[in-house]
Amino acid sequence: MGLLVAVTPASQVQASPLSGTVVSSESRWGYGHSLIVTESVVEQSDGSRITVHQVGGTHEGIGMRQSHSLPLLAIGDSLVAEAQARPSSTGRTFHLLREVHSLRRASLAEKNQDTQDFVRTETAAGYQVYWASGCALLSVASEGSEQIAGDTEFQVVDQVLEAWQDEAGGCSDFSLVNEGTTDTGVGFDGINVIKFREDLWCRPATKDDPQQCYEEAAAGITTLFFIKDGSERVGEILDADIELNGVQFAFAVNGQTSGTAQCDADLANTLTHEVGHFLGLDHTCWIGQGQRLGDEQGNQVPSCSLPTLSESITEATMYNFQSCGETKKATVEADDVAGMCAIYPSGEHPTTCEPADVDLGGCCSVAGNRSPGASGSPALFGLGLLGLMLAFRRQRAENNS
Ligand SMILES: [Zn+2]
């Protein structure tokens, strides 16, 4: 495990040990075409096979990925983990990963180069993700937050969007447009939602798929849908939703909250980080799980466990960890600005503002250069769902002293 500390409440259903190698892995659309689900078969040393159900994957040219979540399993992975059996309403039994103790991936090169720059989110084949328009539109779930007095949370959303735009205004014309409130939920629908979750830190169950709860150490998760490899529009973000964790954390503004969780998550702090993910930025260091990205120089992102990480890594808004009550991520730092301006440079990125074109019917024909795994469909389109979250490092003893 990396520096993420898993928190297991007493209410959690018991998980069982799981140890073995992934012998097959297939992805499909979940119910309502709103998510992609991957089912991976793990063969254990006694020959028994367990099917692990995960949100995310690649299907029909579309990729979905969630950061700050447990890594998506792939063929050849060897893992030692805890899994929990969960029945679906259709009578199947799924195993959900609760914790991964170790994961070995054959393809992952291990280097610890101490180089630093901002990091951009990529598709599985290494194409960087971006909004194609000169803007991105967001809405806020109409119920807002009950932990923050009045309508302050809506004002904080505006402040956060302005912080990114103002800081990067010298080198980027990209705009973040708040369209107001919505009753639309999260999912692939072309509507980008900021959602406060205060009852359950989970994606709700659908007819086909059981409820999937998120990493409890994560204060937020941003899920991106982007066009996958093999399309002319590869990397283009089509939909992005931000979910905020008001279950394990108490949403706070200026230290004020009516939430009862012990650890305050300053709303601007968390949301500024998540908006960075929404823009296509990734973390400044690698926690030892999942895809290891590179910086703009092509260097691998340094490991978060290196003792010599520079301040440009640890003080950036896109640093992976934050502590209870922290507010420093609410200010966008130079390295974050450099990232935004690399994605959306003035003079090179469009200045017109349009909603993302999520009508994939015919949008993305590809002449050749077919992506691996795509069957011979004449029109190949891809969409990636990328979820990213802000993890809190639990260090109450230090922070509350
Ligand atoms: Zn994050």
CATH code, domain carrying 85: 2.40.50
Q: Is residue 114 part of a domain?
A: no
Do residues 224 and 84 share a domain? Answer: no
Q: Is residue 201 part of a domain?
A: yes
How far, in Å, CA of 235 to CA of 128, rounded? Answer: 6
Reference 176, options 330, 280, 257; nearest CA is 280
Do residues 28 and 141 share a domain? Answer: no
Q: Is residue 113 part of a domain?
A: no
Cα of 48 to ligand 1 centre, how many Å?
A: 36
Do residues 274 and 231 share a domain? Answer: yes
Do residues 96 and 127 share a domain? Answer: no
Do residues 124 and 79 share a domain? Answer: no
What is the pLDDT confidence band of residue 130, given thresholds at 50, 70 and 90?
very high
Check residue 361 and give its pLDDT: 55
Cα of 388 to ligand 1 centre, how many Å?
A: 5
Q: How many domains, the chain?
A: 2
Check residue 9 and give its pLDDT: 43
Do residues 142 and 85 share a domain? Answer: no
Q: Is residue 8 part of a domain?
A: no
What CATH number is associated with residue 227?
3.40.390.10
How far, in Å, CA of 34 to CA of 358, rounded? Answer: 13
Cα of 219 to ligand 1 centre, how many Å?
A: 9
* pLDDT digit string, tens, across residues 39-61: 999 989 888 889 999 988 877 76
What is the pLDDT confidence band of residue 358, given thresholds at 50, 70 and 90?
confident
What is the pLDDT confidence band of residue 67, given thresholds at 50, 70 and 90?
low
Residue whose token pair is 């409890």: 216
| Residues of the chain above pLDDT 90, percent | 44
What number is the average pLDDT over the span 283-291? Answer: 86
Q: Is residue 363 part of a domain?
A: yes
Q: Which of 75-79, 101-105, 346-350 has the lowest mean pLDDT?
A: 101-105
Beta strand pairing call for 36-44 and 16-29: antiparallel
Q: Identify the domain containing residue 73 by its residue range.
A: 16-59+67-104
Do residues 145 and 269 share a domain? Answer: yes
Check residue 11 and give its pLDDT: 42
Cα of 161 to ligand 1 centre, how many Å?
A: 16
Do residues 342 and 293 share a domain? Answer: yes
Q: How many residues does the chain have?
A: 401
> How many CB atoms lie under 10 A from the CB of residue 262?
12
Cα of 390 to ligand 1 centre, how many Å?
A: 4
Cα of 270 to ligand 1 centre, how many Å?
A: 9
Q: Is residue 4 part of a domain?
A: no
**pLDDT at residue 288 above 60?**
yes
Residue-averaged pLDDT of the chain: 80
Please give the distance of CA 117 from its chain centroid, rounded to a whole number.
20
Cα of 367 to ligand 1 centre, how many Å?
A: 35
Cα of 222 to ligand 1 centre, how many Å?
A: 8
* pLDDT digit string, tens, across residues 299-313: 788 899 988 888 888
Do residues 298 and 194 share a domain? Answer: yes
Q: Is residue 110 part of a domain?
A: no
Check residue 103 and give its pLDDT: 73
What DSSP string describes 11-77?
Answer: TSPP-EEEEEEEEEEEEEE-GGGS-EEEEEEEEETTS-EEEEEEE-EEETTEEEEETTSPPPP-TT-
Q: What is the pTM of this model?
A: 0.68
* pLDDT digit string, tens, across residues 159-186: 999 999 999 999 999 999 999 999 999 9
Cα of 28 to ligand 1 centre, how many Å?
A: 26
Do residues 136 and 100 share a domain? Answer: no
Do residues 146 and 84 share a domain? Answer: no
* pLDDT digit string, tens, across residues 230-278: 788 889 999 999 999 999 999 999 999 999 999 999 999 999 999 999 9
Q: Is residue 6 part of a domain?
A: no
Do residues 86 and 133 share a domain? Answer: no
